């Protein structure tokens, strides 16, 4: 007799026809009664029903655009010649937000606002930028843009926009002395009016690279990427500027898609294996990395929950980047509530990790070869070696 597990999982990916699906469940029900496992197997059947399957099985989630979130505008500005840029997320009505930093070398502004004990209940913008700590100047341009439009915390004489910012290190890519500044931050906001956000070598992803354990000679070009899903009324998305020390993996097929290049630069070597070759303590390692992310949801949460969701979203980093969260990274993730849908914190946190992984993969796939650093699309076709 065919077992229940064989019945369930041998038919995954065949649920496109409703009649066929019903027959599968009828057969499963008969088997459960025969084996007297009904209570336990009913749970397994439920999990099977709501699970996502890349082969085309039953899947209640669908991919959406980050444009499908309300109270949100995203824009970018960059200096292509200098290899740096910034990406802004504007919340005109204000939005509760949380933050989780797991890297050892962050460069950030106004992060204290996002602690659960801080008085601020909402912020008005998040800015991701290149330029390392020099890039923190760009938030001044975001504040100027928002104040001119009456967006901010009302203090009587004016409205003070609350703008949080995190920076990644891209000074070794193009011109080390040209960084995101007040004007670039302002122009990113102007770009948000037209939703000029794009995946790839734009905004904060302009100078992003990965696989830098052995320095810039063997790294690859990456960028910025977005990915979002909807489950019923619930929407969860992420935008990630991928600038990691480690290698990047596609979880669907467990393959490396970007990272530390081999000597001939036509393939990869493993960053973690290279790291293990010399376990002696390294002093004065400068911070040349940092992956930055923003998780977006239309679920209603306050800061405490959003900080936990941001923390759970780091699982997406850990699944897709190896190694990650090192002392040479400033890995940070923001989490923002943009709606009033009632949802479980753990469900949103789990989905956040998933969309973060999706955004990381998109950042790699949309990146273009630039500044002498090959992108995955060219390495796989052999163009990078030409």
> Using an 8 Å Cβ cutoff, are 257 and 364 in contact?
yes
Q: DSSP state, 373?
A: B
Do residues 241 and 226 make contact, with C-beta atoms less than 8 angstroms apart?
Answer: no
Q: Measure the CA–CA gap between 134 and 107, rounded to whole angstroms.
A: 9
Q: Report d(CA 53, CA 158) in Å as an integer.
A: 52
The Cα–Cα gap between 125 and 200 comes to: 22
The Cβ of residue 158 has, within 10 Å, a number of other Cβ atoms equal to 11
Domain 64-385 CATH assignment equals 3.40.50.300: no
**Cα distances (angstroms) measured from residue 139 to each of 89, 108, 129, 268, 346:** 12, 10, 9, 37, 32
Q: How confident is the model at residue 383 (pLDDT cuts 50, 70, 90)?
A: low
Is residue 249 packed enough to be buried (19+ CB in 10 Å), middle (13-18) or exposed (0-12)? buried
Say which residue, 284 or 335, is predicted with more confidence. Answer: 335
The answer to whether the CB of 274 falls within 8 A of the CB of 322 is no
- Count Cβ atoms below 10 Å from residue 16 Cβ, excluding itself: 10
Residue 30 has pLDDT above 80, yes or no: no
Q: E-strand spans in the chain?
A: 61-64, 73-79, 84-95, 97-101, 107-109, 123-129, 153-154, 159-160, 163-167, 209-210, 220-221, 224-231, 234-241, 247-250, 255-258, 292-299, 321-322, 332-341
Average pLDDT over residues 83-102: 97
Over residues 212-264, the pLDDT tens digits come to: 988 899 999 999 999 999 999 999 999 999 999 999 999 888 899 999 999 98
Q: By C-alpha distance, which of 177, 245, 174, 256 is closest to 215? A: 245
Per-residue pLDDT tens digits for 35-74: 454 444 443 444 344 444 433 444 689 999 999 999 999 9
DSSP 103: S
Q: Measured between alpha carbons, how far is 381 from 51 in angstroms, rounded to an integer?
A: 34
Burial 308-345 (b: 16+ CB within 10 A, else e): bbbbbbbbbbbbbbbbbbbebbbbbbbbbbbbebebee
Average pLDDT, rounded, for the chain: 85
**Number of neighbours of residue 121 by Cβ within 10 angstroms:** 14
Between residues 54 and 363, the one the model is more confident about: 363
Q: Which two tokens stand for residue 194?
A: 């037209």
The span from the CA of 180 to the CA of 185, in Å, is 7
Element (H, E) at 355: helix 345-366
Name the band, by pLDDT with cuts 50, 70 and 90, for residue 320: very high
% the chain with pLDDT above 70: 81
Query: From CA 151, how far away is CA 379, in angstroms rounded?
Result: 45
Please, which residues have CB within 8 angstroms of residue 367's CB and are 6 or more apart in sequence? 200, 201, 205, 208, 221, 222, 223, 258, 375, 376, 377
Which one has a higher pLDDT value, 18 or 376?
A: 376
Q: With cut-offs at 50, 70 and 90, classify the pLDDT of residue 282.
A: low
- What's the pLDDT at 381? 61
User: Domain map of the chain by residue range?
Assistant: 4-59, 64-385
């Amino acid at each position: 007799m065919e077992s229940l597990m064989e019945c369930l999982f041998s038919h995954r990916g065949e649920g496109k026809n409703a009649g066929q699906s019903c027959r599968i469940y009828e057969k499963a029900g008969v088997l459960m009664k025969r084996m007297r496992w009904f209570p336990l197997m009913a749970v397994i059947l439920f999990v099977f029903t709501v699970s996502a399957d890349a082969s085309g099985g039953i899947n209640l989630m669908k991919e959406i655009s980050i444009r499908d979130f309300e109270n949100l505008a995203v824009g970018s500005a960059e200096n292509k010649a200098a290899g740096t840029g910034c990406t802004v997320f504007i919340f005109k009505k204000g939005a509760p937000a949380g933050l989780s930093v797991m890297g050892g070398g962050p460069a950030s502004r106004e992060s204290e606002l996002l602690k659960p004990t801080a008085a601020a209940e909402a912020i008005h913008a998040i800015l991701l930028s290149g330029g390392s700590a020099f890039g923190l100047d760009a938030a001044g341009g975001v504040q100027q843009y928002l104040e001119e439009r009456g967006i901010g915390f009302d203090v009587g004489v004016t409205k003070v926009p609350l703008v949080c910012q995190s920076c990644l290190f891209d000074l070794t890519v193009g011109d080390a002395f040209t960084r995101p500044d007040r004007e670039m931050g302002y122009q990113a906001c102007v770009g948000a009016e037209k939703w000029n956000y794009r995946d790839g070598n734009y905004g904060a992803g302009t100078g992003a690279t990965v696989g830098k354990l052995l320095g810039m000679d063997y790294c690859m070009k990456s960028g910025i990427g977005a990915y979002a899903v909807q489950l019923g009324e619930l929407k969860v998305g992420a935008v990630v500027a991928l600038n990691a020390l480690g290698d990047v993996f596609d979880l669907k097929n467990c393959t490396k898609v970007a990272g530390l290049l081999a000597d001939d630069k036509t393939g990869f070597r493993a960053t973690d294996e290279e790291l293990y070759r010399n376990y002696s303590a390294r002093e004065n390692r400068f911070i040349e990395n940092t992956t930055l992310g923003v998780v977006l949801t239309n679920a209603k949460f306050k800061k405490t929950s959003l900080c936990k969701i941001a923390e759970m979203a780091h699982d997406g980093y850990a699944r897709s980047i190896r190694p990650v969260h090192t002392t040479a990274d400033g890995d940070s993730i923001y989490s923002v509530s943009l709606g009033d849908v009632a949802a479980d914190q753990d469900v949103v946190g789990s989905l956040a990790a998933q969309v973060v992984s999706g955004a990381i993969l998109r950042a790699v796939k949309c990146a273009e070869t630039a500044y002498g650093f090959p992108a995955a699309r060219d390495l796989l076709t052999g163009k990078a070696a030409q």
